[in-house]
Structure 1
Amino acid sequence: MTSCLWLVCTLVAIIGSVYALLAAFLVARFAHRPKSILERPENVALIKPLYGAEPGLHANLGSFLQQNYPGEVKILFGVQNAADPAIAVVRNLEEQFPAADIELVASSRSAGGNPKISNVLNIFPRAPHDVLILSDSDMRVDDTYVRDVVATLQQPEVGLVTCLYRGCAIGGFWSRLAAAAVDQHFLPSVLVGIRFGLAKPCFGSTIAMRRSTLAEIGGFEAFANTLADDYAMGDAVRRTGQKVAIAPFTVGHTFSEDSFAALLAHELRWARTIRLVDPIGYAGSVITHPLPFALAALPLSGFNVIAWMIVLGTLACRLLVPLQVERLPGGGKSSIWLTPLRDLLSFAVFVASYVPGAVSWRGRRYSVGADGTVKPI
C-alpha cells in the first residue's frame, strides 16, 4: 500500500512539474503578444459597481480616470446604499479630476440574488454610449487601458473583451500571499487551459461589449441570480457565435487581506465558484499542485535520495512560473519567496473547496445552488 501511494504521489509531482514548465513557457509567450491597433475612437461608458471604501479604492478608481484615449469616456459609479462610504471616495475623485465625466448612481433596488448585478442594473440606464466596459472595483489599470480594450473589441468577430490580471498586494504579508495565488496559480492555469481549449474564460476584471451584444444575450437581467456572472456572460456571448477575446495585456487586481481568515474566505469563494463552473476541469487541476505531492512522497519513500531530488526538481520548476509572471504589468512586489507556502495553502484550499458550505462576499453570506445560482443567507 505504501509503495502504491509513493508511486501515485511521485507521478503527480512529476506530471505537475512538467505542467509548471509548460505554464512558464506560455506566460513568457503571452508577455510578447502585440497589442491591437485602434481603428477608430469610439465613445465609451465605464461601469463601476461599488460596495464600501475598500483599501486602495481611491487609487484603483483614479487609474480609470487617467486614460489616454481620443474618444469620450463617461465613468458611472454605483452604490446600493446612500450611506455607503464609497460615495466619499467618488466625491473626492470628482474634485481631483474636474474635467472627467463622472456620475454617481445610488439606488437600493434589488433585481436578484447577485448584489453586483443588481448594482449594475441600476447604473446601466445612465450609460450613454455604445461601448460598455464593466470592471470590478479592485482593478487597477494603466493609461492605455481603454484604448487597448476598444482596439481589441474592434477585431473581426469579437463580441466581448476580457483581461487577465496579476496580483497587486497593497497590504502586508496576508495580502502578498493572496496576490501570489493569482500570479503563481490562477494566471498560468488560465493560459494553459486556453492553449489546449480547456478553458473559456471571462473575468470581472474587464467585460467590454457593445449594446447590441448585451441585448442579444438578454441584458444584465439574465445574470441577476448567477454567482459566476462574468463567466456566464462570456458563455452567453460565445453561444451567439461571437468570440470572447483575451486582451494582450494584464491589469492589476489589488489585494488587501489583513488576516488568514479574510484570505481563506476569499479564496474558498473563488475556488467553489470555479468548481461549480467547470467541475471536471477543476478536478483535473490537482496536477497544478505538485509540491505537496512531492513532499508527501518523502516519508513514503523513507526519505531516499530520489525522493529528495524530486522535491528539489519540483520546487525549481514551480519557481520558474513566478519568474516569468513578473515580466507582466499590473503586479506588485516580488513574491517568489512565498512559492512553497503558497503552493501548500493553494492545495489546502483545493481540498477544502469540496466541503459543502456557503460563500462569503463583501461581508455577506450566500448559499449556492447546484446550477450556480445564489441566494442570501
Structure 2
Amino acid sequence: MTLAWALALICLVLVVLNLISDGIAIRNSKPRATPLPPAPDSPGVSIVRPCCGIDNFCEETLGSSFKLDYPSYEVIFCVARSNDPVIPVLQKLIAANPAVPATLIIGDERISANPKLNNCVRGWEAARHEWVILADSNVLMPRDYIQRLLAAWQPTTGLVCSMPQGSHPQNLWAELEIAFLNTYQARWQYAADGVGTGFAQGKNMLWRRDILDDAGGIRALAAEIAEDAASTKVVRAAGLEINLVDSPFPQPLGKRTLGDVWSRQIRWARMRRKTFPLHFFPELLSGSATPAIIGAYAAGLFGVTPLAGAALVLAILYSGETALALSNRWHFSWRLPFLFLLRDLMLPVVYFDAWLVNDFVWRGTEMTMREKERPST
C-alpha cells in the first residue's frame, strides 16, 4: 500500500504541475479584442523574412508583411538560391505594394551549418532600423504585429519572441500538429516565461540591434545548431530576459502528412537535447503519458481498474488543455482530445529518439549535431 500511495502522490504532483502550466498560459496569453494601435513615437522597424520554397498559404503569409498598421517599417526578404520558386511570388508582392519599402536579397552567407541563419545574415546587415524582427516566411502577421512585439519589451528585456499558433488546418494531421504546437509547446513556453526562465523561439524574434551587436552581431548566432538556442544564450549572458507576446501569431498549416508532423517534432527535440540537455532531460514528464501510466499502476494497486485510473488522469489534463485553447480562441474541434492522446503516445518515442539520433533533414539540407559544423568557405 505504501507503493500505491507513493505512486498516487507522484501522479498528483505531475497532474498539478500540468494544470499550473495551463493556468500560467491562460493568464499570460490573451487574445486581443481590438488591434493595438501604434504608439505616437513608434520607432522604425526592419522585418527580415528568410524564405525557402513554397509553403501552404505562401501568398497570404508573405503578403501580410505589407498590410501592417505601422507608420515606419521596411521588409527585407532573403532567398538563398536564385532558382527558388518563391522568388516570383515575392517579386509580385513587392510590385503590388509600392507604398511599403521592401527589398529582395538573393544569396546567403555560409557562416554556419544552419541554412536559415545563413539566409538571414545579409538581411540583418542591410536593415536600416535599430529594431529588427526576424520572422519566418510562414507567419501570418496581424495588422498590429509590430506594436504587439514592441509592447512586450520591458526595461530588462533582451529579446521578444512569439511561438507559432497552429491555425487553418485542412486535414487530420494538421490538427495533430496543432495538438503539439498550441496546448503543448506554447503552453510550456508560456509557463517557462511565467517563472522567469523564458527561451527564445525562432519563429518571431524582435531584437534591439545593439544587444546582438554587443555579442558579435548576427554571426554570433552560429555558435549553436539552432539560432533560437544561440539567441537564448546571448540574452542570458547579457543579464537580460526573453519575453513573449500577449498571444502567439498564427501559422496557417493547410494540409499535413503524419511524416511532416513527425519529422518536425524529432528535429526540434534533437536540437533541444543538443543545445539545452539539462532542460531537455525532464521533458519526458511534460506530457500526459507519464502521469497516466503512473496513475494506472497506482489504481491497480488500490484495486481499481488501471484503465479507469489512466482515463481519469487524461480527462483532467485534457480538460486543462481544452480550457487553454478555448480561452485563447485557438482552433479546437471534437477530434483534438483524441489527437492529444496520439500526441502523448508519440512524445516518449520522440524523447528517446532525441537522445539516440543526431542527424536530421531541414528543407532538403542534411544537418548533424555530432560535432560543431564548420562554415563553408
Q: TM-score range by the shorter chain?
A: 0.7 to 0.9
Matches within 5 A, 1:51-200: 51-69=52-70, 71-153=71-153, 155-197=154-196, 199-200=197-198
Residue 355 of structure 2 aligns to a residue whose secondary structure is coil
Structure 1 residues 168-194: Cα deviation after superposition (integer angstroms, max 9, x where no partner): 254421121112101232112223323
CA distance in 1, matches of 2:323, 2:192: 17
Pick closer, same or farther for the CA change 1:148–1:196 going to 2, 3 Å.
closer
* Paired letter, 2:228: D
Let me know the Cα RMSD of the aligned residues.
3.0
* Paired letter, 1:132: V
Pick closer, same or farther for the CA change 1:37–1:249 going to 2, 3 Å.
farther
8 A Cα contact 2:292 2:314, kept in partner: no
Matched residue, 2:323: 324
8 A Cα contact 1:178 1:257, kept in partner: no
Residue 252 of structure 1 aligns to a residue whose secondary structure is strand
Pick closer, same or farther for the CA change 1:6–1:115 going to 2, 3 Å.
farther
- Offset of 1:331 from its aligned partner? 4.1
- Offset of 1:21 from its aligned partner? 1.4
- Offset of 1:36 from its aligned partner? 11
- Offset of 1:213 from its aligned partner? 1.7
Residue 247 of structure 2 aligns to a residue whose secondary structure is strand
8 A Cα contact 1:175 1:257, kept in partner: yes
8 A Cα contact 2:358 2:370, kept in partner: no
CA distance in 2, matches of 1:158, 1:217: 15
Matched residue, 1:17: 15
Unaligned runs of 5+ residues in structure 1 are none
Residue 82 of structure 1 aligns to a residue whose secondary structure is coil
8 A Cα contact 1:17 1:314, kept in partner: yes
CA distance in 1, matches of 2:318, 2:136: 30
Residue 320 of structure 1 aligns to a residue whose secondary structure is helix
Matched residue, 1:209: 207
Matched residue, 1:27: 25
Show structure 1 runs of 4+ deviating over 6 A: 3-9, 33-37
Matched residue, 1:287: 285
Structure 1 residues 44-88: Cα deviation after superposition (integer angstroms, max 9, x where no partner): 11000111111122211222221111x211101010111101112
8 A Cα contact 1:184 1:321, kept in partner: no
Structure 1 residues 77-111: Cα deviation after superposition (integer angstroms, max 9, x where no partner): 01011110111221232244332222110014422
- Give identity over the alignment, percent: 21
8 A Cα contact 1:368 1:375, kept in partner: no
CA distance in 2, matches of 1:140, 1:105: 21
Matched residue, 1:269: 267
8 A Cα contact 2:110 2:375, kept in partner: no
> Is 2:221 the counterpart of 1:223?
yes
Matched residue, 2:340: 339
Pick closer, same or farther for the CA change 1:207–1:136 going to 2, 3 Å.
same
* Paired letter, 2:194: R
> Is 2:334 the counterpart of 1:305?
no
Q: Which moved more, 1:72-81 or 1:317-326?
A: 317-326
- Offset of 1:295 from its aligned partner? 4.5
CA distance in 1, matches of 2:374, 2:2: 41
- Offset of 1:330 from its aligned partner? 8.1
Unaligned runs of 5+ residues in structure 2 are none
Residue 294 of structure 1 aligns to a residue whose secondary structure is helix
Structure 1 residues 140-195: Cα deviation after superposition (integer angstroms, max 9, x where no partner): 22111111212333x32323211243222544211211121012321122233233
> Is 2:365 the counterpart of 1:349?
no
* Paired letter, 2:106: A
* Paired letter, 2:50: P
* Paired letter, 2:201: F
CA distance in 1, matches of 2:48, 2:187: 28
Pick closer, same or farther for the CA change 1:340–1:210 going to 2, 3 Å.
same
Paired residues, number: 370
